Chain A
Amino acid sequence: MNKFWIILFHTYLNKLKTKSFLITTLLTVVITLALTNMSNIIEVFDKGGGKEKVAVLDETGQLYVPLKEQMSALNKDLQLTEFDGSEKEAEKAVEEGEYAGIVQLRYDAEQLPEATYKAMSVADSSIFSDLQTGLQQMKTMLAASKINLTPEQLQQLYEPVSFEKIALEENAKTEEELNQARGLVYVLLFIIYFAVIMYANMIAMEVATEKSSRVMEILISSVSPIKQMFAKILGIGLLSLTQLAVLLSVGYFSIKRNLSSLEGGFFDAFGFGNISLSTIAYAVVFFILGYFLYATLAAFLGSLVSRIEDVQQMITPMTLLVVAGFMIAMFGLGKPDSPFIVITSYIPFFTPMIMFLRVGMLNIPVWEAALGISILLGTIIFLAVFGARVYRGGVLMYGKSNSFKDIKKALQLTKNE
């Protein structure tokens, strides 16, 4: 078998067997399962809680019934009961946990409803705001009937204004589509971000481990450093794809199984209802390109350090680049068409995330995406050629220093003067 493949599979199989890899995979599978079953999980907890009960102390004797009608339309989980006892008794019942709170209803000077809400704590604002909406509606209705408006007039008053958003650009995404795309892009951006950081780190560590354990010198006397570097990058790449394949298939089947219960809920909003194939295709392309860009960078940075402890320090600037790209992408989710996002999408270190954000959320011309990908590809090739030279010298360098001056030193080692 070709030496390239020997190294590739050695790297792949060895990493696959490590405890840390198995644990992270297991953990992410658990998290994926939890996320995709979120609605079921919430339901389980909600059942224990049951309906919230609120006692109504109606001083007017007239307002309880209309309020209950309003509330049943607003929130089915909020149950109103008329309380016959005194205020003190009601407060005691709340303290004992029988009710979530008390609403006291009375008329103000204008003969319009007025209310006080009492509860053990006012941290749960949802009951309060639901009640407020209900009271507001009741008050409007009462006020309207006081000034003798006809039901037609009333309806006109309440009718919402007709207001629609239409994008003039051809093929532009509608508001709803944009929201869906945002959810999908957000999730995929996260995957790209974490994968790039995690696997680039892994490569740098791998190279540095071989160097610090001095096995490197034997390796480079049998296989050229360039072959080694790319076998390693591809081996870890294969590993990342394995992990992603596990995660995605777990996620996919879990969603599929729960599809009926998820319809119309959280998942539709996140755009999983009708996943756009082109977005997924772009995600794969940008994931792979982003991986190669940062993996190459990490491999040659890793080749410059002589001790494992120095790896983190060496690759920090690279990690910051990834974080910066992610931050810009987060900003871009709200404003994907701003000039800042357009410009940064052509900067190769940001392209994998930001150009993906643009193709995912907007309908940009194909040439723009192609240009971004070409610049990215060019940078990867440049980094690979340059990185391979640094790597070749770097792996022979041992010393305390671990600064970027070493890049120059490493290049000098490989030079024929």
Chain B
Amino acid sequence: MPIIVNLDVMMAKRKMSLNELSTKVDLTLANLSILKTGKAKAVRFSTLEAICKVLECQPGDLLEYQETKE
């Protein structure tokens, strides 16, 4: 997948654990884990909004495009 999720980087910058983030954004640990490991197929705007609000960042800080050779 050429879209990289940098959730772990942002969490490390804000010194926030997955458990804490899960409680603050009201998402299950399983769903956050899917997002963090890059297994997610899609992200809802509402989820992105909640994460950005809690981590005080922009969507661009969380998502990155990397070209991959087919």
Question: A and B, one complex?
Answer: no
